[in-house]
Amino acid sequence: MDQQSALRKYQSEQLRVKRIAQMKLKLTAAGLALTTDQESQLEAVYARESRLRTLAIVEAKGDSYDKTVGIIEKQTSQKVVQLLNQSQKAILSAAVSRTKTSTAP
């Protein structure tokens, strides 16, 4: 059982690091630069997500947990947007609009 716990912790940490990197890439691609304070808040948001994901997996006891994890990830995205100031939100909104327009059929 200890090995499973250690493996879960390692996998959770790797996923957290990957998700933070992906979010930073998306924000950078949108033309956003986070402040040092925002970056530390971003780390905290993803640490929370990691803990909640691990709990969801453990509590699922072998059952599907995809829906729960999806909800947790959506909440995380909302919290990331809340970290942004008004001008950053406007830049992000414009970038999302451009992406939607360029991918529309």
In the chain, the number of structural domains is: 1
Dihedral sign of CA atoms 93, 97, 103, 105 in order: positive
At residue 68, the pLDDT reads 94
Q: Which two tokens stand for residue 15?
A: 């996923």
Chain segment 30-78, per-residue pLDDT in tens: 889 999 999 999 999 999 999 999 888 888 888 898 999 999 999 999 9
CA triple 7-75-83, angle to 5 deg: 105
- Confidence at residue 86, expressed as pLDDT on a 0 to 100 scale: 95
pTM of the model: 0.83
What pLDDT, on a 0 to 100 scale, did the predictor assign at position 92? 87
Domain that holds residue 39: 2-103
